[in-house]
Structure 1
Amino acid sequence: MSHIIFLHGASSSGKSTIAQALQQKIAKPFWHISIDHLRDCGVLPLDRYRRGEFDWSDDRSAVFDGFHQSLAAYAASGNNLILEHILDTPGWDKDLRDLFRPFDVLFVAVHCPVPELNARERLRGDRPVGSAQRDQTMIHAGRVYDIEIDSMDGIEANVQTILQAWRSDLRKSEFSQSFA
């Protein structure tokens, strides 16, 4: 059975840094994947969206549906995943629960204090200011996680917490088989 470590947190919360460090420490090969990877490597014609040649609002649903389906296909082929994602759209949680049902999913909340999110967002400069704070206040409400971490605790501490939880095989999140 393939494993999916699902890092769920606001933009700029530290998901990418944690995922990269986790990938270096975990005992099995894991892909580190995010929609940002597709965006950043040129898979999506972002310049044409920015110029108005295409309307992102017309295509967003298909792009994310395809991304979600691809995650399940990677895992169904025997690949383990470290996924960074933000469940910010109604229905995505149900879609991913259905797609990930055959797999062992460790659902991890990645928290970060709002002042730090705002500072990171300003440093990045590639997100609208305020989007991270909006994510933080919205995306964790009503979620049931296997574990919750705070990126201010440091990368090594967070990686060790995730590894310990992954090794335990104890799953209680909304993505677990036993969740009712």
Structure 2
Amino acid sequence: MAQVIFLHGASSSGKSTITKTLQERIEKPFWHISIDHLRDAGVLPSARFRNGDFHWADSRAAFFQGFHASLKAYADAGNNLILEHILDTDGWLETLSELLSNHDVFFVALHCPLELLIQRETARGDRPVGSAKRDYETIHIGKRYDIELHSTDGVDVNVERLLCAWRSGSRSSSFVVSTAGFTK
């Protein structure tokens, strides 16, 4: 069974910053997995999506289906993962819960004040304007987490809280409770 630490927060909430520090401090090897890595590595023909040759809406579902399946493959092969992802589409939580059902998933909420999200989104310049606000308003609704962190508490405090909670072995998130309401 692989271990998966799933950081879930709005775009620009600080998931990558926490993940990098967590990866440096955790006592086991963990892969850092993010959609941003694929985008930044040139896996996607991003320039052609931007210039209109291709339409992201036509490719989005297949991209995420493949991404989610790859997470299962990595974990099934025995790799521990720190996953940063935004569950912004109906059904993704259920899909990932099923795909990762044989693994220890520790589900982490990362909250960030809206004003700070907007500031960060603007400063980055690589996110669609308004995506942070949309995420802020929707992505945490109906989710149950093992721990909830606040980006304003700082990276060191958040990583220590996360590690302490993760090491406890206690799990009670949406990934532990099945859709029928029974604990896995």
TM-score interval, normalised by the smaller of the two chains: over 0.9
Partner of 2:150: 150
Counterpart of 1:8, as a letter, is: H
Measure how far apart 1:177 and its partner are.
Answer: 5.6
Distance in 2, matches of 1:118 and 1:61, equals 26
Contact map agreement 1:111 1:148 (CA 8 A) in 2: yes
Alpha-carbon displacement from aligned partner over 1:74-125 (angstroms, at most 9, x marks no partner): 0000100000000001111110000010000000000001111111111111
1:67 aligns with 2:67: yes
1:118 aligns with 2:118: yes
Partner of 1:10: 10
Distance in 2, matches of 1:28 and 1:120, equals 31
Distance in 1, matches of 2:40 and 2:65, equals 18
Identity of aligned residues (%): 62
Divergent runs of 4+, >6 A: none
Contact map agreement 1:9 1:111 (CA 8 A) in 2: yes
The total of aligned residue pairs comes to 180
Contact map agreement 1:101 1:177 (CA 8 A) in 2: no
Normalising by structure 2, report the TM-score. 0.95
Partner of 1:24: 24
| Correspondence list, 1:41-120, <5 A | 41-120=41-120
Measure how far apart 1:128 and its partner are.
Answer: 2.3
Alpha-carbon displacement from aligned partner over 1:34-53 (angstroms, at most 9, x marks no partner): 01100111001111111222
* Structure 2 counterpart SS, 1:166: helix
Alpha-carbon displacement from aligned partner over 1:10-60 (angstroms, at most 9, x marks no partner): 000000000000000000000001011001110011111112222211111
Measure how far apart 1:129 and its partner are.
Answer: 2.4
* Structure 1 counterpart SS, 2:134: helix
Counterpart of 1:24, as a letter, is: E
Distance in 2, matches of 1:5 and 1:92, equals 16
- The alignment's C-alpha RMSD in Å is 1.1
* Structure 2 counterpart SS, 1:135: helix
Distance in 2, matches of 1:117 and 1:57, equals 24
Distance in 2, matches of 1:142 and 1:131, equals 19
* Structure 2 counterpart SS, 1:134: helix
Partner of 1:170: 170
Counterpart of 2:170, as a letter, is: L
Normalising by structure 1, report the TM-score. 0.97
Contact map agreement 1:10 1:139 (CA 8 A) in 2: yes
Contact map agreement 1:10 1:135 (CA 8 A) in 2: yes
